């Protein structure tokens, strides 16, 4: 009897230690994401930063990397040509990258300066951008472009987009991202939730960080980069499968900040099918893991020694694979708490109860956060969701589920070889059809 009691006491001690570890991990997770939670609150109650009227209209080059985008690229170029900004100060460059359709011809007829690139070994947007920049440097260096805008072929620009971004550039902002609205919010629950994710990014992360003069990040499209940064780098040198985040991290380490202009609005086409969304996000997650492995040492060093401490801290959290660690710990801790229930109470039902009461605590925290984020997104962007009340409610319910899938995708990416794959773009709406 005494032996059995001693075993129970020893087991209880072990389980108490594991419970303590769980609490410590939970606190670490909360601290890591505390800034994002605070950003949500600040973004909910504050307005975006306003830039003063520009004293100078600067000269820009618009860069578009396109692979088999004949259906959409003409509308993007048309929206650039219709900007409320001096047309002589904006040139549009397109690289038709490994195309097998009429992207080259459509872009040429729309008024862009177009190059064709065929390279099956070095595939992806980053290599196409580097090629395009080298051509501009060879043939148009005398134009004196002060910054480069980067867009995807499926984008559309509000008529005041460049005018608003020029305010930021004239204010001294070297890297600037903008508000990403949706071309096809109501096409499916996937496109709606994907759109909401970018709404969340803009109103919670970009807006709050910029108001507090903390650098944010650029994500794929809808941003500009000062030409001198590109010159210092020797072209586009970032070739991980998420070249945008890699570029941002590298710039932060070098002392540059990416900021945000909420008044510059562009429209992006979101995946309609879950399969396409998963493919896209799998690449993003894999790229995040790659960035963490390549840059975390430098980021940590700059957090303590650099002049860009807050920016580097935010980016370190952004690329940190916390969802992966959390996922495996939830599984391990759930198994342990199940065993604890059986050992201490002698019942399988006690084990199951233990899992739900203790083992899923971290998961509960994530769920509460995502529900809160959903409320913030709706509070700030409901007017942009061009669907009826019923669908708004449906998409609000499914948004935490969608984000949960994104977390699981981060785990899958850890064990999956991921290469760049094209996401089909079929929404050939003009800017007039989107902005009514």
Residues written for the chain: 436
CA distance linking residue 101 with residue 68, whole number of Å = 6
pLDDT for res 6: 45
pLDDT band at 152 (very low <50, low <70, confident <90, very high): very high
pLDDT for res 398: 87
CA distance linking residue 175 with residue 306, whole number of Å = 19
Q: Cα-flanking dihedrals φ and ψ of residue 308, to 5°? A: -115, 40
Exposure of 210 in the CB half-sphere (CA atoms within 13 A): 28
Exposure of 38 in the CB half-sphere (CA atoms within 13 A): 10
**Sign (positive/negative) of CA torsion 306, 309, 312, 313?**
positive
Taking CA atoms, 85 is separated from 64, 140, 180, in Å, by 19, 21, 20
pLDDT band at 432 (very low <50, low <70, confident <90, very high): confident
Lowest mean pLDDT among 135-139, 147-151, 332-336, 396-400: 332-336
The token duo for 237 is: 């040198």
Q: Which domain holds residue 68?
A: 1-436
Residue 16, pLDDT > 80, answer no
Angle CA(88)–CA(127)–CA(219) in degrees, nearest 5? 75
Query: Other C-beta atoms within 10 Å of 23: how many?
Result: 11
**Sign (positive/negative) of CA torsion 320, 406, 210, 125?**
positive
Which distant-in-sequence residues (6+ apart) come within 8 Å of 11 by Cβ? Answer: 340, 343, 344
Tell me the whole-structure pTM to 2 decimals.
Answer: 0.88
pLDDT band at 160 (very low <50, low <70, confident <90, very high): very high
Lowest mean pLDDT among 16-30, 186-200, 271-285, 292-306: 16-30
Alpha carbon of residue 230 to chain centroid: 21
The token duo for 309 is: 């401490």
DSSP-assigned beta bridge partners for residue 149: 62, 224
- Per the CB < 8 A criterion, the answer to whether 261 and 165 are in contact is yes
Lowest mean pLDDT among 12-26, 176-190, 313-327: 12-26
| Pairing label, strands 223-226, 147-152 | antiparallel
How far separated are the first and last CA of the chain, in Å rounded? Answer: 80
Q: Among 253, 262, 310, which Cα is nearest to 48's?
A: 262
- Per the CB < 8 A criterion, the answer to whether 395 and 190 are in contact is no
Q: Among 420, 418, 419, 426, which Cα is nearest to 68's?
A: 426
Helix (H) or strand (E) run with residue 95 in it: strand 90-97
Average confidence (pLDDT) over 229-235? 96
pLDDT band at 18 (very low <50, low <70, confident <90, very high): low
CA distance linking residue 93 with residue 61, whole number of Å = 7
pLDDT for res 34: 64
- Per the CB < 8 A criterion, the answer to whether 244 and 159 are in contact is no
Average confidence (pLDDT) over 403-425? 82
pLDDT band at 142 (very low <50, low <70, confident <90, very high): very high
For every residue of 270-287, DSSP letters joined together read PPSSHHHHHHHHHHHHHH
| Pairing label, strands 223-226, 175-182 | antiparallel
- Per the CB < 8 A criterion, the answer to whether 150 and 234 are in contact is no
Q: Among 12, 3, 151, 8, which Cα is nearest to 80's?
A: 151
pLDDT digits (tens, 9 = 90+) for 107-140: 999 999 999 999 888 888 999 999 999 999 999 9
Q: Among 49, 402, 13, 8, which Cα is nearest to 200's?
A: 402
Query: Other C-beta atoms within 10 Å of 402: how many?
Result: 21
Average confidence (pLDDT) over 18-41? 66
pLDDT for res 14: 56
Mean pLDDT (the chain, rounded): 85
Residue 54, pLDDT > 90, answer yes
The token duo for 171 is: 């204010």
Total structural domains within the chain? 1
Q: Across 211-275, where does the E strand assignment appear? A: 223-226, 258-268
pLDDT for res 46: 77
Average confidence (pLDDT) over 53-76? 96
Average confidence (pLDDT) over 159-180? 97
58: CATH? 3.90.550.10
Residue 387, pLDDT > 70, answer yes
pLDDT for res 17: 65
pLDDT digits (tens, 9 = 90+) for 286-342: 999 999 999 999 999 999 887 888 899 889 888 888 777 777 777 777 776 777 666
CA distance linking residue 212 with residue 134, whole number of Å = 36
Which distant-in-sequence residues (6+ apart) come within 8 Å of 388 by Cβ? Answer: none
The token duo for 23 is: 């609490």
């Amino acid at each position: 009897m005494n032996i059995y009691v001693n075993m129970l006491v020893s087991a209880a001690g072990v389980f108490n230690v594991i419970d303590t570890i769980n609490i410590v991990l939970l606190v670490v997770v909360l601290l890591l994401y505390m800034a994002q939670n605070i950003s949500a609150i600040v973004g909910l109650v504050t307005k975006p930063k306003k830039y003063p009227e520009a004293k100078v209209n600067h000269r820009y080059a618009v860069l578009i990397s396109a692979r088999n985008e004949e259906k959409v690229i003409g509308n993007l170029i048309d929206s650039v040509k219709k900007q409320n900004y001096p047309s002589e100060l904006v040139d549009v460059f397109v690289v038709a990258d490994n195309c097998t359709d009429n992207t080259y011809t459509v872009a040429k007829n729309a008024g862009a300066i177009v190059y064709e690139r065929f390279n099956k070994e070095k595939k992806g947007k980053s290599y196409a951008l580097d090629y395009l920049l080298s051509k501009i440097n060879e043939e148009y260096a005398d134009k004196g472009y002060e910054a480069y805008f980067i867009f995807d072929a499926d984008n559309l620009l509000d008529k005041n987009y460049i005018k608003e971004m020029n305010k930021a550039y004239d204010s001294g902002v070297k890297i600037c991202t903008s508000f990403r609205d949706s071309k096809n919010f109501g096409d499916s629950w996937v496109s709606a939730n994907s759109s909401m994710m970018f709404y969340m990014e803009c109103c919670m992360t970009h807006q709050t960080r910029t108001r507090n003069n903390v650098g944010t990040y650029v994500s794929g499209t809808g941003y500009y980069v000062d030409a001198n940064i590109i010159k210092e780098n020797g072209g586009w040198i970032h070739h991980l499968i998420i070249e945008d985040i890699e570029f941002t991290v590298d710039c932060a380490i070098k002392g540059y900040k990416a900021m945000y202009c909420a008044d510059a609005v562009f429209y992006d086409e979101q995946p309609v099918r879950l399969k396409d969304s998963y493919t896209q996000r799998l690449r993003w997650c894999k790229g995040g893991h790659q960035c963490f492995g390549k840059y975390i040492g430098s980021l940590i060093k700059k957090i303590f020694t650099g002049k860009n401490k807050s920016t580097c801290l935010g980016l370190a959290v952004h690329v940190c694979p916390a969802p992966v660690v959390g996922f495996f710990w939830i599984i391990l801790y759930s198994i342990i708490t199940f065993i604890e229930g059986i050992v201490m109470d002698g019942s399988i039902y006690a084990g199951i109860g233990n899992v739900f009461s203790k083992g899923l605590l971290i998961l509960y925290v994530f769920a509460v956060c995502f529900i809160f984020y959903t409320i913030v997104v709706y509070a700030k962007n409901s007017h942009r969701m061009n669907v009826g009340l019923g669908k708004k409610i449906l998409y609000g319910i499914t948004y935490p589920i969608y984000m949960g899938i994104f977390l699981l995708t981060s785990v899958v990416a850890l064990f999956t070889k991921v290469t760049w794959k094209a996401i089909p773009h079929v929404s050939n709406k003009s800017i007039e059809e989107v902005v009514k």
